[in-house]
Amino acid sequence: MSNEFEQNLEKAGNYLQRFQSTVTGHFIGGEFTAGNGKTFSNTTPVDQSTLGEVAEGSVDDVDAACEAAEAAFANWRDMPGAERKKLLNHFADKIVERAEEIALVESMDCGQAIRFMKAAAVRGAANFRFFADKAPEAGDGQALLQAEHTNYTLRYPIGPVGIITPWNTPFMLATWKIAPALAAGCTIVHKPAELTPLSAYLLAEIAKDAGIPDGVWNTVNGFGEVSGKRLTEHPAIKAVALVGESATGSHIMRQGAETLKRMHFELGGKNPVIVFDDADFDRALDAVVFMIYSLNGQRCTSSSRLLIQSGIRERFVAALEERVRKLRVGHPLDPQTEVGPLVHSGHFNKVMSYMDIARQDGATVAVGGQRRDDLGAGNYVAPTLFTNADNNMRVAREEIFGPVLTAISFDTEEQAVAIANDTDYGLSAYIWTENSGRAMRLARQVEAGMLWINSENNRNLPSPFGGVKMSGIGRDGGDYSFDFYMETKNVCVAHGTHKVPVLGR
Ligand code: NAD
């Protein structure tokens, strides 16, 4: 065990102690509360031991949080953008101060390797700084001129909003959704995933410490079917932003129908990475490995389908097999670890079930395919590569959400496009070719919200982020986020010269 690993374990133990000795509660109207006393147990995927008890949000808890968000809305909306900017930048500073704690707690809660989680706090702070700086101009609209009228548009925050987040990168995703909502002038009720509640609690603490006014930020823990459901039904909540599974998006759309909520969904994917014969072999190989095996493959934009052109297939797959075999699986706090344990035993069992499904459907399990028993009771899966697959197999069609890659061969550009698009999903796609004309053609033809050409997933906060088909509705990033969290009002002013229609004179 390296020194750094030992130190990480010790520090994480210290940070986690408080969650073991008291119930992780909700944050409502500026107060931490355990609600009605009902709790559920939060386990770590490292060894299934408990990290403590968490308040199980009830309908009453959610109602209280929504009422707090509603009561705080007018003051927050009316706070000048420049002041919101200052406050949210201050909040980002506070995140950075607690970066180590956030990373260690998050790794133990969700199983993501510390090498990736180290950057989580910094990215979370960057999300806040980016949107904070845009707060002063969030309300700016357009001037649309006509001969005898001038139209101008105003934007104003839609109201209290519900933010529902998943367990895969809980801290980063919560900041990604909450930062633009607050910068726009909305108040929020956050419902974090029941499997990973700890970093949401830290965020609420930071909000209080940073001086975000009471009621502007509320957090309610609990299960999707109870607290999540109530949040999507509450009349005070004007919009719901969900990051989660496609099926959850459908539920939420139904639940929010009665109160006509505006919805923004970032959902699942089965994203293709298309590697042509003329690709830069080494860079493509690095990116293919990174985009499915980093973050335990629990990543919405992971490239879980490799479409490989027949001319380089043998050489590429052989190199890939070697790399996948060498991936270092282990404890998430070991700085050497590249792949950690999957978030929960239920999800682990789901991922493991695809090993048999792949074999039954006729794919080859070229690497992995089993549990890493040598690593103890944690949810450790051997990084897995399926080859000789076709796009009709379940491992090519269903989102597995683990360190599992399905390789499919193609001959022509047309075939690559057809296979890439033969899916219910459309979140992201990756294209590797040195032929720029072909890259441009595919950029138009491949059905996805986001395409990366000769790159792994590179993040740019002003760019639109989101999916098509079953992968989502709406876009985040830059001004796209403000469009969701704000209403646009058109004001039409006459110049006093046009002819007003005359009736009944
Ligand atoms: P999930 O859909 O099971 O849960 C997400 C959240 O929704 C949780 O907080 C959950 O409690 C809540 N929820 C569940 N049912 C609900 C209901 N009926 N009403 C209200 N809330 C409800 O997703 P997960 O398993 O936590 O996360 C993994 C999924 O998230 C994957 O499908 C992944 O692709 C997706 N994801 C998408 C993106 C993206 O940007 N497109 C990013 C990360 C994760």
Ligand 1 atom closest to the CA of 465, numbered from 1: 40
Split at pLDDT 50, 70, 90, the class of 1 is confident
Same domain, 254 and 279: no
Q: Is 330 helix (H, G, I), strand (E, B) or coil?
A: coil
Would the CB of 267 count as within 6 Å of ligand 1?
A: yes
Q: Tell me whether residue 45 is in a domain.
A: yes
Same domain, 69 and 150: yes
What's the domain range around 287? 272-453
Q: What is the mean pLDDT of residues 255-268?
A: 98
Q: Tell me whether residue 101 is in a domain.
A: yes
User: What is the spatial distance between Cα 122 and Cα 139, in angstroms, rounded to a whole number?
Assistant: 27
Distances (CA, A) of 99 to 1, 177, 329, 340: 23, 19, 24, 20
Same domain, 320 and 197: no
Q: What is the mean pLDDT of residues 36-52?
A: 97
Would the CB of 191 count as within 6 Å of ligand 1?
A: yes
Expressed in angstroms and rounded, the spacing between residue 463 Cα and the centre of ligand 1 is 23
Can you give the CATH number for the domain in which 112 is found?
3.40.605.10
Residues of the chain above pLDDT 90, percent = 99
For 363-386, write each residue's pLDDT tens digit: 999 999 999 999 999 999 999 999
For 172-207, write each residue's pLDDT tens digit: 999 999 999 999 999 999 999 999 999 999 999 999
DSSP summary character for residue 137: G
Would the CB of 243 count as within 6 Å of ligand 1?
A: yes
User: What is the spatial distance between Cα 76 and Cα 485, in angstroms, rounded to a whole number?
Assistant: 14
Q: Tell me whether residue 460 is in a domain.
A: no
Same domain, 248 and 287: no
Residues of the chain above pLDDT 70, percent = 100
Q: Whose CA is nearest to atom 30 of ligand 1?
A: 244
Expressed in angstroms and rounded, the spacing between residue 245 Cα and the centre of ligand 1 is 4
Same domain, 234 and 310: no
Q: Tell me whether residue 182 is in a domain.
A: yes
Q: What is the mean pLDDT of residues 46-65?
A: 98
pTM: 0.97
For 318-350, write each residue's pLDDT tens digit: 999 999 999 999 999 999 999 999 999 999 999
Q: What is the DSSP string of 84-130?
A: HHHHHHHHHHHHHHTHHHHHHHHHHHH---HHHHHHHHHHHHHHHHH
Expressed in angstroms and rounded, the spacing between residue 244 Cα and the centre of ligand 1 is 2
Same domain, 298 and 385: yes
Would the CB of 35 count as within 6 Å of ligand 1?
A: no
Whether 186 is a known active-site residue: answer no
User: What is the spatial distance between Cα 75 and Cα 94, in angstroms, rounded to a whole number?
Assistant: 23
Using most ligand atoms within 8 A of CB, pick from 112, 231, 245 the residue to mutate for ligand 1. 245
Split at pLDDT 50, 70, 90, the class of 388 is very high
Q: Tell me whether residue 500 is in a domain.
A: no
Active-site residue identified among 70, 233, 245, 266: 266
User: What is the radius of gyration, based on Cα positions, of the chain?
Assistant: 24
Using most ligand atoms within 8 A of CB, pick from 26, 164, 348 the residue to mutate for ligand 1. 164
The answer for 141, left when phi > 0, alpha when psi is -120 to 50, beta otherwise, is beta
Whether 110 is a known active-site residue: answer no
For 137-161, write each residue's pLDDT tens digit: 999 999 999 999 999 999 999 999 9
Using most ligand atoms within 8 A of CB, pick from 177, 199, 220, 248 the residue to mutate for ligand 1. 248
Would the CB of 200 count as within 6 Å of ligand 1?
A: no
Is the predicted pLDDT of residue 440 greater than 90, yes or no?
A: yes
Same domain, 250 and 313: no
Average model confidence (pLDDT) across the chain: 98
Q: What is the mean pLDDT of residues 43-51?
A: 98
Same domain, 305 and 392: yes
User: What is the spatial distance between Cα 324 and Cα 235, in angstroms, rounded to a whole number?
Assistant: 49
Same domain, 347 and 479: no
Question: Encoding tokens for residue 82?
Answer: 């420049």
Expressed in angstroms and rounded, the spacing between residue 262 Cα and the centre of ligand 1 is 17
For residues 478 and 461, the answer to whether their CB atoms sit within 8 Å is yes
Same domain, 395 and 412: yes
Q: Tell me whether residue 505 is in a domain.
A: no
Same domain, 289 and 250: no
Q: Tell me whether residue 472 is in a domain.
A: yes
Our count of domains for the chain comes to 2
Q: Tell me whether residue 462 is in a domain.
A: no
Split at pLDDT 50, 70, 90, the class of 56 is very high
Active-site residue identified among 300, 338, 398, 399: 300
Would the CB of 472 count as within 6 Å of ligand 1?
A: yes
User: What is the spatial distance between Cα 135 and Cα 482, in angstroms, rounded to a whole number?
Assistant: 9
Would the CB of 474 count as within 6 Å of ligand 1?
A: no
Can you give the CATH number for the domain in which 321 is found?
3.40.309.10
Same domain, 432 and 473: no
Expressed in angstroms and rounded, the spacing between residue 300 Cα and the centre of ligand 1 is 10
